[in-house]
Chains A and B, each alone.
Chain A
Amino acid sequence: MFFLHNLERRVTLHPSYFGRNMIELVTTKLLKDVEGTCAGNYYIISIMDTFDISDGRILPGSGLAEFIVGYRAVIWRPFKGEVVDAITVSVNPHGFFAMAGPLQIFVSSNSMPDEIKYAPNATPPAFTNNADWTIEPGTHVRIKLIGTRTEVGRMFAVGNINGDYLGCLQDS
């Protein structure tokens, strides 16, 4: 689910950049450092604006200046039970992996409708019910997340396409 979230971050700046456009540089650095990263259990998608840049404080020892920057960002936090659209990236006998933006999702063959079977002989390998559904790399699928896991700088989810309106998105 997407949220608008107020966050805070300490940004450091090398003394050689001290000057008139310091604030601008701090903002640039914030964008560079933060946008598109995974912060624990959510992704920071985009920074809307910064609203509070503190005075810089010189860090003893290094001489870098530290600014505490408050900013507003659009974040995406995948929840258990959330339904997301994703693109299949790989298929193996146990299930398939799909990416929903930055999030990797695995859908186990146990979590698929019964009629969906792994077709090892298809090229590329696919899960198919031999009718309208064929899940192969590139296929768009709608997945319900049944669990998420967070690692440092990374998230991972397990999903399920066993339910109404889940699964292959035809001709998307």
Chain B
Amino acid sequence: MVESARLLDDREHRELDRKREMEQSYDAEKLAETMRQRYGNRRIAKQFGDSVIVPKRLLMPSVEDPSIWGVRCKEGKEREVVFSIMKRIEERRGTKDQLGITAAFERGGLESAMKGYVYVEAYRSNDVMLALDGMLNVYPRSKMVLVEIKEMPSLLHITKTETLHPGAYVRIRRPAKHAGDLAQVLDVTENGLEARVRFVPRIDYTVAEKQADGKRKRPGTYRPPQRLFNEAEARKRGSRQITGNPQTNVWQYNGEEFENGFQVKEIKIQNLQIKDVTPGLDEVTLFVTEGEDGTENLDLKALAASLRSSKSNVTYMSGDVIEVYEGEQKGVVGKAVNVQGDIVTLRVIEGELRGQTIDVPNKGLRKRFKTGDHVKVIGGSRYRDEVGMVVKIVEDRVTFLTDQTNTEVTVFSKDLREADDIGGQGSLGQYSLLDLVQLDATTVGCIVKVDHESFVVLDQNGDVRQVMPSQITNVIPKRKTAVATDRNGSEVRLDDVVREVGGQHRQGKIIHIYRSYVYLRSNSSNENAGVFVTRTSNVATVAAKGGRINAAAGPDLNAMNPSLMRNPKANGSMPPPKVFGRDKTIGQTVTIRKGGYKGLLGIVKDATDTHCRVELHTKSKIVNVPKTDLTFKDKVTGRVIDINSRGGFGGGRGGGSAGFGGRSGHGGSGGSGWDGSRTPSLPGGLAGSRTPAWGPPKSSGAYTPAWNRNPDTSGSRTPAWNSGSRTVNPYDGNRTAYGGATSYGGSTAYGGTGGSRDPAWSMGSKTPAPDSHGVGSRTPAPGNYGGSDAWGSGSKTPAYGASAPTPGASDAWGYNAGISGTSDAYGAPTPGAGLSAPTPAALNAPTPGSYPTAPTPAAISAPTPGGGWAGGWGGADSAPTPAAGAPTPGATGGYYGAPTPAAYGAPETPAAGPRYDDDD
């Protein structure tokens, strides 16, 4: 028995071995063939297994697959219908009525284009009919739609349904009273159909009253504003409707439930708008609850959820560093190189794909930052435009430290972008951070925070308030020189570091000094941007011994070397020379250049150093105008004149007589009956008067003429006048010269001589005018020139040369000359000589000998010209004409120019020189 079993076993083993041997002898292909034959028909399933990846196109439906029919149903009941179909399938399974359909589904939903249909998959439409027959809410007998094969896949396209999380923001669609209002989800019911939300109620407390009155409320139009529930008001209006618990602040009122002022209500999700909520900042702030520490506590997570769902406002710009956090490319980090619509082109900067460029859809992307990045908030957050440095990143929430206020702010990475600029909201309009601004007449404040449309201001009393730009009167400019004294009496200025003596012993740098308040800024606190305000009497400078640290280790090398300053007081420009006597502006005709009276003409009635009282021509009014705002005009011609240059002369002449020039001239002109404008020169007038005085009245005819204005020989007079007046007046010492002048008068005679009196006259008249004024470039000028010429020539020209010295001669000499001149003058031709002689003497008196001096005066003394003229005349008998011709303006000009200042004395001198010579 045992043996037989052993044999059998043995045989079996051998059998197996032989079989294996045979199999091995087959070649592989045959083996494969047999295998296929043996197992080939036993395919478990025609479908591909789960584990196998199959190209999508092979999964697409074909004609062999069952068709899909769309069947109308009642809107909103799609899902119920599908459930009913399920139920029917269960019921009839295994019976002869078993349903022939293979699937049923719906794509309902508020936004869906396929709402109002259920879709049933079957091989024959009859199966669909049977399956749906007699079912509620579905209408198979109306037209059924056969879905085309190519549309089938899109029918099943998955759109991710929004899931509501507690804390998310939604908008209410219904009830209509709250339509559009923002609400916050508290929780969602188990079946996912309803959500419990809280929102700001719209209560009309009077409704209860009205109902109590038995009147029916007209439904409709009126929509109360959003306001938090107010228990007191509700009680007042109808205490019966209200029940609740004051401890938890939960109330029922008119069948509604209120918690902490918010209304809490269960609303069907279909009556809520979940997508694209984009809560506005103002709306969200309604839900902001005050934290225990008084800080606002915005539920960022909730906001995140709401905002994330609306991708619309996310914008990527090329250059942004972006991370893909969803989808096939999850984890890829790249730099955006191009953005087109929803497609962002990335250049991958990390990992295996580095360097490649890939396109990714914009959803599933987020911007990526690193700690230490400098970022700026863009987008809708209330921190918009803040700039700061990233300190922490959690998923897509980025915490950064703002540059402005050194506070930490958390925002979403989508609202950030890399910042190039610094500061950001440093200013709003003309106001910027740390400016001192006037809030009202008695209040100033320092801007410690700049928001989008408002400022936070720390006023002088230490109160922080929020103001709009429109509430700010103006900025108080920083005065670099502002000084205050601290409690120890030491001087403190801007930028000094001081410490509070009492209180918190805060220390800071002075940024503003306003009356007795100082605004300090310290780094040690970031409350109010580190700014605090205190009284000057409450601070002590931190510098040692209470004195200011003299920071300047040396002199300021950009400014004047102090050691070179001769007069330490007179830093800056030299004050204008003091002018004695009557103010020369008085009596001038002026126009006002600036201010309310701009353009008006007037006369100066009185003057101080800086201002004039101007009597206006237009209305009899005297106004006070700064001198700098006046333009001085010639009384008659209306030309602009420079009173200062004239005045300068006056001063030069010799102090007291300063005024002399202009005015006396006038007086003179009046007297003489000459043309006022020209005559002005008249200083001559005075001179004339004096001259005569000088000259023994009778001694020389010259005087007389000079004196007599009336004399027929107008020419004589004029010149006499002119020359005399000018020359003479200027120098006290020169009176003698005056004598000369008198001689001059002689020259007048000359005029007569010339027979060209008129010209002489005119010349005289004009010349003087010009001279004295320096303005006139007219004939007169020539006349003067003539004088100067004479002079010049006299001095230089040999012929004259002789004379030249003469003028230089002593007064006495001049005097004599004058006399002689006078006579000469009479003689007609030489009148000039007479004139000149005196003049020079007068002028030069001191330095007679020195030529240089002489010339100057010559140049100056336009008046002399008259004399000069005379001289000229003397030289050339033709006198008159030339005189008239005086034309030499050019020459004149030359002379004149130099002299102008000198105008005064000069003329004479020269004149004197030449004439004298002539005489000789």
Interface positions of B from 521 to 537, Cβ below 8 Å from A: 523-526
Q: Please, what's the 1-or-0 string for A10-45, where 1 marks a CB less than 8 Å from any CB in chain B?
A: 001110110000000100110010000000000000
- Give the distance to chain A from B872, nearest Cβ to Cβ, in Å: 47
Residue A57 interfacial (CB < 8 Å): no
Give B293's nearest chain A residue, CB to CB: A93
Q: A89 touching B561 by the CB < 8 A rule?
A: no
Check if B557 sits within 8 Å of A13, measured CB to CB.
yes
Instruction: Judge if B570 is at the interface, Cβ distance under 8 Å.
Output: no
Contacts A17-B561, A110-B392, A111-B391 hold; do A80 and B554 have CB atoms under 8 A apart?
A: no
| Interface pair A158/B557, CB less than 8 Å apart | no
- B547-589 contacts to A, CB under 8 A, are 553-554, 556-561, 564
Measured between beta carbons, the chain A residues less than 8 angstroms from B554 are 28, 32
A/B pair count, beta carbons within 8 Å: 81
Interchain nearest-CB distance for A153 vs B (Å): 12
Contact B524 A25 (CB under 8 A): no
State the Cβ distance, A171 to closest chain B Cβ, in Å: 24
B374 adjacent to A149 (CB under 8 Å):
yes
> Which B381-429 residues sit within 8 Å CB-CB of chain A?
389-392, 399, 401, 403, 406-408, 422-423
Check A108–B408 contact: CB distance below 8 A.
Answer: yes
Closest to B559 in A: A14
Q: Are A158 and B401 in contact (CB under 8 A)?
A: yes
Q: A147 and B561: CB pair below 8 A?
A: no
Q: How large is the interface on A (under 10, 10 to 19, 20 to 34, 35 or more residues)?
A: 20 to 34
| Residues from chain A with Cβ under 8 Å of B525 in the complex | 90, 92
CA distance A156 to B553 in the complex (A): 29
Question: Is B318 close to A, CB under 8 A?
Answer: no
Please name all residues of chain A whose beta carbon is closer than 8 Å to the beta carbon of B371 when the two chains form the complex: 111, 146-147, 158, 160
Cα–Cα distance between A108 and B372 once the two chains are bound (Å): 11
Query: Is A114 part of the binding interface, using a Cβ–Cβ cutoff of 8 Å?
Result: no
Contact, CB under 8 Å: A108 / B391: yes
Contact A14 B557 (CB under 8 A): yes
B390 touching A92, Cβ below 8 Å: no
Tell me whether A14 and B558 are in contact in the complex, defined as CB-CB below 8 angstroms, given that A94-B408, A158-B389, A158-B401 are known contacts: yes
Asked if A111 and B372 sit within 8 Å, CB to CB, the answer is no
**How far does the alpha carbon of A16 sit from the alpha carbon of B374 in the complex, in Å?**
47
List residues of chain B with CB within 8 A of the CB of A14: 556-561
- The interface bits of chain A over 93-112 (1 if a CB of B lies within 8 angstroms of the residue's CB, else 0) are 01101000000101010110
Complex contacts, A13 vs chain B, CB 8 Å: 557-558
Is the CB of A166 closer than 8 A to any CB of chain B?
A: no
Partner of B557, one of A29, A97, A151: A29
Q: A14-B560, A16-B560 are in contact. Are A97 and B523 (CB under 8 A)?
A: yes
CA distance A150 to B559 in the complex (A): 31
CB contacts (< 8 Å) of B391 on chain A: these are: 95, 108, 110-111, 146, 158
Known: A97-B524, A149-B374, A149-B422. A108 touches B399 (CB 8 A): yes
| Residues of B with C-beta under 8 A to A156 | 403
From the candidates A28, A64, A108, A148, name the one contacting B401 in the complex (CB within 8 A): A108
Known: A28-B554, A32-B554, A160-B371. 9 other contacts (CB 8 A): A12-B558, A17-B557, A28-B557, A32-B553, A94-B401, A95-B391, A97-B406, A108-B401, A149-B389
* Interface residues of A, Cβ cutoff 8 Å to B: 12-14, 16-17, 25, 28-29, 32, 64, 80, 89-90, 92, 94-95, 97, 104, 106, 108, 110-111, 137, 145-151, 156, 158, 160
Interface residues of B (CB under 8 A from A): 371-374, 389-392, 399, 401, 403, 406-408, 422-423, 523-526, 553-554, 556-561, 564
Q: Which 8 pairs between the two chains have the least Cβ-Cβ distance?
A: A147-B372, A16-B561, A90-B524, A110-B392, A146-B372, A108-B391, A29-B557, A147-B389
A-B pairs with beta carbons under 8 Å apart, 7 shown: A90-B525, A94-B401, A94-B408, A108-B401, A145-B372, A149-B422, A158-B389
